[in-house]
């Protein structure tokens, strides 16, 4: 019934005098890969936390998977996956135990846990590591695992906050293969990144500057609009106007 | 309920995998329970006594040998004058000076009375106070012996006080202290672990991942509470076994009643720990806040200082601590064999603590900030 995975109208978050997210409005279509770009401190994470039901908006309105972010956070949480900037798996649990735990609290049955768990380990090629503590894995593997765990319950939307920060180019490429697979299976992807090559992989992108969304379109249209060869140039053109100092 | 099972499974795996935490939970209390009761002994023995005997009579010798044989005093030596004895106090060789005047024997026989001068080093207040009072008792005793000899017809006048000490007939300090120390150990272990645990998840960032899942608040809190509750029960049981095997303390009262009270107490204590963790952002913060309160709880709990002897404000603080009631009930059940009707009121108060602290913690834990 709902074509839109996320709708957002005049969404604002204030911390005292500081307006972290300033009256942003946009929509994300179901099945889309939506890139959410912006310099450090532009307000991306704050906006994402509001959409995930982790933080109350100060004003405006928004729905995620058809549920209101003011009143239906717990319903939203059943329908989304989230991968935060901070690594969020338990480092002192093994790969298998993490999968079992997160699958379990999302309500997967034992049969599903077994099937999904094995499928996931196969897909990531983590057979020999499945009984290792997650803390012992290299960062790239951790991130791939964290993403796979974030979508283990086949959510409608998954929010990824700089999932490839600090990851090598080969692993980043593999990570995006996973994202495409997830998108193919019908999961809407909402992703923030600082890598402009990754921005090109998105269906549409928005660029946040000082808490506002200054541009929103397909990568091709944006390049045309800003008469730029690459997304890098588009980003510079917009981010240069920022008044807020980066963190 | 299924969710809770997964939370518990995860929590237990993490606890038993934590090589730093396990000794803190299981070994530390054992060691402390073996050492602390031996040190926490308020019996004052080995009081060093400096003697100035100006009389050198047979009475003064009798008195000194009576003091020496009491077992509480160690006569460090004779001093010729008070300043000389004072030097012994200053160099901490002596705790108390006893000065016997010249003509002590003569005056005692002639006048029936002669003052003796005692001076105590009050820097160690306990030693000074108890030492002086022991000496007073010995002197009174000596006094009546002499009177009996000199004036046999008057010997049986006066009131003879005989007291007997119930529930701990030999006034053994350990019997009194061990149950209380056991409470403190369970309090420290469970209080700190509960306070630090959620904050650790905050620091690492995993709590945000939990907050974005459909896990309910009560499920999460129960998932944290139940493992530590079980640990508290195990620690207490180990402690009770040590009390029995090492100190020979066998609870006189009903064990079910004791464990019933313990189970409520642990819920209150863990609620307190969780409450601190909801207000703290780092483990360091939680540690200091927990430390602040637990020190007050321990000092005001009646373990070392009887609550009845505290000033009014002290009593108020003592009554606001869940630890106070448990120490009280421990002593009542273990030493006196008190029954349910005796501990009904502390139990109700402890239940109130449990409800308020946990309610507050659950209220203050926000999945959406």
How far, rounded to the nearest angstrom, does the alpha carbon of residue B302 sit from its chain's CA centroid?
7
Task: Tell me which residue in A88, A100, A105 faces B215 most closely, judged by beta carbons.
Answer: A105
The whole-number pLDDT of residue B152 equals 66
The whole-number pLDDT of residue A2 equals 52
The whole-number pLDDT of residue B289 equals 94
Q: How confident is the model at residue A129 (pLDDT cuts 50, 70, 90)?
A: confident
Chain A nearest-CA distance from B11, in A, is 10
Window 73-132 of A: residues touching B by CB (8 A cutoff) are: 73-74, 77-78, 80, 82, 84, 86-93, 97, 100-102, 104-107
For chain B, the distance separating the N- and C-terminal CA atoms, rounded to the nearest angstrom, is 25
Chain B nearest-CA distance from A54, in A, is 4
Residue B166: both structure tokens together: 């119930």
Task: Please say whether the beta carbons of B346 and B262 come within 8 A.
Answer: no
Using the Cβ of B367 and the Cβ atoms of chain A, whether some distance falls under 8 Å is answered with yes
Over chain A, what is the mean pLDDT? 88
Task: Please say whether the beta carbons of B194 and B278 come within 8 A.
Answer: no
Q: How confident is the model at residue B155 (pLDDT cuts 50, 70, 90)?
A: low
Look at residue B167 and tell me whether its pLDDT is greater than 90.
no
Mapped onto helix, strand or coil, the DSSP state of residue A146 is helix
Report how far residue B7's alpha carbon sits from residue B206's, in angstroms, rounded to the nearest whole number.
Answer: 13
How many contacts (CB atoms, under 8 Å) link A and B? 77
Mapped onto helix, strand or coil, the DSSP state of residue B118 is strand
Using the Cβ of B204 and the Cβ atoms of chain A, whether some distance falls under 8 Å is answered with yes
For B235-266, what is each residue's pLDDT tens digit? 999 999 999 999 888 888 899 999 999 999 99
Look at residue B150 and tell me whether its pLDDT is greater than 90.
no
Q: How confident is the model at residue B232 (pLDDT cuts 50, 70, 90)?
A: very high
Radius of gyration (Cα) for chain B, nearest Å?
A: 28
Q: Which residues of A touch B215 (CB under 8 A)?
A: 105
Look at residue A1 and tell me whether its pLDDT is greater than 50.
no
The whole-number pLDDT of residue B156 equals 56
Q: Which residues of A touch B204 (CB under 8 A)?
A: 86, 91
From residue A164, alpha-carbon distances to A31, A174, A176, A197, B85 in Å are 21, 10, 9, 12, 80
Task: Tell me which residue in A74, A105, A107 faces B7 most closely, judged by beta carbons.
Answer: A105
From residue B170, alpha-carbon distances to B67, B130, B243, B275 in Å are 21, 17, 17, 43
Look at residue B170 and tell me whether its pLDDT is greater than 70.
no
**Rounded to 5 degrees, what are φ and ψ at B327?**
-60, -45
For A19-46, what is each residue's pLDDT tens digit? 899 889 999 999 899 999 888 888 888 9
Residue B208 to residue A105, Cβ atoms within 8 A: no
For A51, nearest residue in chain B (alpha carbons): B212
Tell how many helices (H) and how many strands (E) occur in chain A. 9, 10
Residue B212 to residue A54, Cβ atoms within 8 A: yes
Residue B367 to residue A54, Cβ atoms within 8 A: yes
Task: Please say whether the beta carbons of A203 and A15 come within 8 A.
Answer: no
**Cβ-based neighbour number of residue A230 at 10 Å:** 14
Task: Tell me which residue in B2, B206, B215 faces A90 most closely, judged by beta carbons.
Answer: B206
**Rounded to 5 degrees, what are φ and ψ at A160?**
-120, 120
Specify the DSSP element, H or E, that contains A5.
Answer: strand A4-15
Where are the strands (E) in chain B, listed by range?
47-53, 73-78, 96-100, 117-120
pLDDT mean over B72-88: 85
Residue B212 to residue A74, Cβ atoms within 8 A: no
Look at residue B214 and tell me whether its pLDDT is greater than 50.
yes
Report how far residue B252's alpha carbon sits from residue B242's, in angstroms, rounded to the nearest whole number.
Answer: 16
pLDDT mean over B131-160: 75
Residue B79: both structure tokens together: 């001093």
**Rounded to 5 degrees, what are φ and ψ at B303?**
-70, -50
For B110-135, what is each residue's pLDDT tens digit? 777 778 888 888 887 777 888 888 88
Which residue reads 């530590």 in tokens? B228
For B26-50, what is each residue's pLDDT tens digit? 898 899 888 888 776 666 778 888 8
């Amino acid at each position: 019934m709902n074509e839109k995975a996320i709708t957002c109208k005049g969404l604002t978050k204030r911390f005292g005098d500081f307006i972290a997210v300033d009256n942003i409005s946009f929509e994300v279509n179901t099945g889309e890969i939506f890139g959410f770009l912006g310099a450090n401190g532009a307000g991306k994470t704050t906006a994402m936390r509001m959409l995930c039901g982790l933080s109350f908006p100060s004003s405006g309105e928004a729905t995620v998977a058809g549920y209101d972010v003011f009143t239906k956070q717990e319903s939203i949480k059943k329908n989304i996956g989230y991968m935060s900037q901070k690594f969020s798996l338990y480092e002192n649990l093994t790969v298998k135990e993490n999968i079992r735990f997160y699958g379990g609290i999302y309500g997967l049955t034992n049969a599903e846990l077994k099937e999904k768990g094995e499928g996931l380990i196969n897909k990531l090629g983590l057979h020999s590591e499945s009984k290792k503590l997650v803390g012992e894995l290299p960062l790239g593997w951790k991130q791939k695992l964290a993403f796979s765990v974030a979508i283990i319950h086949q959510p409608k939307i998954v929010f990824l906050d700089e999932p490839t920060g600090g990851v090598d180019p080969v692993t980043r490429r593999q990570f995006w293969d996973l994202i495409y697979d997830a998108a193919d299976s019908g999961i809407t992807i909402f992703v923030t990144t600082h890598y402009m090559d990754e921005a090109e992989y998105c269906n549409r992108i928005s660029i946040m500057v000082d808490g506002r969304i200054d541009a929103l379109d397909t990568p091709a249209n944006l390049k045309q609009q800003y008469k730029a060869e690459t997304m890098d140039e588009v980003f510079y053109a917009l981010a240069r106007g920022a008044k807020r100092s980066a963190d | 309920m299924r969710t809770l099972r997964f939370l518990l499974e995860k929590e237990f795996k993490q606890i038993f995998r934590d090589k730093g935490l396990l000794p803190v939970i299981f070994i530390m209390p054992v060691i402390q329970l073996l050492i602390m009761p031996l040190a926490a002994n308020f019996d004052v023995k080995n009081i060093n006594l400096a003697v100035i005997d100006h009389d050198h009579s047979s009475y003064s010798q009798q008195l000194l040998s009576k003091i020496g044989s009491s077992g509480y005093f160690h006569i460090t030596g004779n001093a010729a004058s008070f300043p000389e004895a004072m030097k012994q106090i200053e160099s901490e060789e002596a705790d108390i000076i006893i000065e016997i005047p010249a003509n002590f024997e003569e005056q005692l026989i002639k006048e029936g009375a002669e003052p003796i001068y005692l001076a105590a080093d009050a820097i160690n207040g306990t030693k000074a106070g108890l030492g002086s009072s022991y000496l007073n008792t010995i002197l009174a005793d000596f006094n009546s012996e002499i009177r009996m000899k000199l004036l046999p017809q008057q010997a049986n006048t006066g009131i003879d006080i005989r007291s007997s000490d119930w529930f701990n007939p030999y006034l053994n300090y350990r019997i009194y202290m061990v149950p209380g120390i056991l409470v403190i150990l369970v309090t420290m272990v469970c209080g700190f672990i509960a306070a630090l645990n959620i904050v650790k998840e905050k620091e690492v960032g995993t709590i945000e991942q939990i907050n974005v899942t459909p896990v309910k608040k009560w499920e999460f809190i129960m998932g944290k509470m139940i493992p530590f509750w079980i640990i508290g029960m195990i620690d207490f049981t180990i402690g009770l076994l040590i009390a029995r095997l090492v100190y020979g303390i066998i609870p006189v009262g009903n064990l079910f009643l004791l464990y019933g009270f313990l189970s409520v107490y642990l819920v209150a204590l863990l609620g307190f720990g969780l409450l601190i963790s909801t207000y703290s952002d780092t483990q360091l913060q939680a540690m200091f806040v927990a430390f602040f309160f637990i020190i007050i709880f321990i000092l005001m709990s009646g373990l070392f200082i009887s609550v009845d002897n505290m000033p009014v404000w002290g009593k108020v603080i003592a009554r606001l601590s869940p630890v106070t009631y448990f120490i009280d009930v421990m002593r009542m059940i273990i030493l006196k064999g008190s029954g349910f009707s005796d501990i009904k009121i502390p139990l109700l108060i402890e239940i109130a603590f449990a409800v308020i602290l946990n309610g507050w913690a659950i209220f203050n834990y926000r999945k959406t900030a």
